Amino acid sequence: MRIDIISIFPQFFDCLDVSLMGKARSSGLLQTHVWDLRDWTQDVHRTVDRAPAGGGAGMVMKPDVWGKAIDQVIEQAGAAKTVLAIPTPSGIPLTQSQVRDLAENTEHLVVACGRYEGIDQRVGQYYQQNTEVQVLPFSLGDYVLNGGEVAAVALVEATCRLLEGFVGNPNSLVEESYELSGLLEYPAYTQPATWRGLEIPPVLLSGDHQKVKKWRRQQSLMLTAERRPDLIWKLAPDVLVKSDREILAARGFLPAPYRQQVRFRRAQPGETVTCSAIASRLFPQACPKDLPEEAIACFIEDELSEAAFKAYLDDPNNLIILVEVAPVTQTGTDDTAWETAGYTLIEAGAPGFLPPEENLMQSGGKNCAYLSKCYLDACWHGSGLAGAMLEVSHAYLQESFPHLTKICLGTNRENRQALKFYRHHGYRKCGRRTFLVGGIENLDVIAVRDFTACQVPSWAQNVAQ
């Protein structure tokens, strides 16, 4: 690749002789030429700028000087196609995919470094008309530098390190931020294991490669969700697996194809209408097909009415977690856009609390909470929201009732999907019970999760609104 950089401060580019860039230049992988724009001036003062047409502060760089310089370097390179990169704060923000495209497809790159108020607009406009030149007005970010030199170095370095043969181990480029996964890279650590009281996360010293890989993926997802939500919304659906989606849902994102924001909150006393409405709407979706409608209606009236939820909400030993979704917007979400998508009801309680059914008492023991309800609208199945809702509910439970070390539940023994879901989230079968829906007996499997053996994941913690 040949690179020509034109600037009124050519000495700025001495840095290109350093480190890997210097090596690439001396090995011939890269041909860089740095030019002084003033060499194309014709007056004694070597003038490159004039006052802006129309008045105003500052000076503008003259198109005639720039034109001569660019024409000459293009002619000298003799390439079939040239990319003319013009750094400017009003350019398109530079991205990894752009520099990858440059590294893979460009034979000749010219960087025109502006100063003062920038280069006369007609320079870019003129070369845009030339089919052998591609004009790339690019910005380093939403801030203003004194000149294009820093931006030129950034562009050249980001592009050149992707050239084949530039870095010793090309694998080191694959996992980087903005690369294949579209996520920010996970944090890196090295010895010593303890430095100024700060530890390397133990998993990285465990030698368990699978665990390390899982931890790094979680960190990448959480970091990107926290710092660069814009990248999360741009993720292609096929780069995410279910466990990724659960993490992102817990952090507030249902990326493509769902494209919804998520929030979790504890229902407040008085929210009987909201709770009863979502519970009554979702209960029939989860019932066995052969359960008569009257039995379902009867259960809703007895157990899921506003009066029933008043009793649940008035009891401080109950936790009701609501999951709400709203479409992603550019402009911020108003409060009316949030819709309830699901909920959990956990019966916890004072020390010594025992869940109501005798079988559950035996399976769970004294330090056990009871996941009485866990329902999500079927339209979100597959989005990761169910797993997020469950783990976030566990996190709320631990925060509010830290003495409880277990949680148990009962679910219809025919409901294979639910059984698989709970097994995946650390629940282990430990008994059976009979569960009445409108007077009709249903056989349930009882399962328990022990938080000491299967901890609440870090991504589900600190989610509370």
Tokens of 18: 């350093």
Tell me which of 51, 144, 307, 379 binds ligand SAM, using CB under 6 A: 144
Q: Provide the 3-class DSSP secondary structure of residue 218.
A: helix
Question: Going by C-beta distance under 8 Å and a sequence separation of 6 or more, which residues neighbour residue 188?
Answer: none
Give me the amino acid identity at 377. D
As measured in angstroms, the least distance from the Cβ of 146 to ligand SAM is: 6
The least distance separating ligand SAM from the CB of residue 48, rounded to whole angstroms, comes to 12
- Inter-residue contact 8 to 146 (CB < 8 Å): no
Give 87 or 364: the residue with its C-beta nearer to ligand SAM. Answer: 87
Cβ distance 66 to 128 under 8 Å?
Answer: no
Over the window 319 to 358, marking each residue x when it contacts ligand SAM by CB under 6 A and - when it does not, the resulting string is: ----------------------------------------
Q: Can you tell me which of 134, 139, 243, 415 binds ligand SAM, judged by CB under 6 A?
A: 139
Q: Residue 53 and residue 64: Cα distance in Å, rounded?
A: 15
- Piece in contact with ligand SAM (CB under 6 A), picked from 87-95, 274-282, 376-384, 392-400: 87-95
Q: Which of 146, 116, 123, 147 is nearest to 52 (CA)?
A: 116
- Binding mask of the shown chain, residues 94 to 133, with x at each position contacting ligand SAM by CB under 6 A: -------------------xxx-xx---------------
143 forms part of the interface with ligand SAM (CB under 6 A): yes
For the bound state, the minimum distance from the C-beta of residue 73 to ligand SAM, rounded and expressed in Å, comes to 17
Q: Contact between 90 and ligand SAM (CB under 6 A)?
A: yes
Q: Report the SS3 class of residue 147.
A: coil
Cα distance between residue 264 and residue 395, in whole Å = 11
Q: State in angstroms the smallest separation of the CB of 156 from ligand SAM.
A: 13
**In this complex, which beta carbon is closest to ligand SAM, that of residue 115 or of residue 216?**
115
Contacts within 8 Å (CB) and 24+ apart, 62-65: 62/120, 63/119, 63/120, 63/122, 63/123, 63/126, 65/37, 65/40, 65/41
Beta strand pairing status for 318-327 and 49-50?
unpaired
Q: With contacts defined by CB under 6 A, how many residues of the chain interact with ligand SAM? A: 19
140 touches ligand SAM by CB under 6 A:
yes
Binders of ligand SAM among 145-164, rule CB under 6 A? 145-148, 151
Query: Where on the chain is the footprint of ligand SAM (CB under 6 A)?
Result: 87-90, 113-115, 117-118, 139-141, 143-148, 151
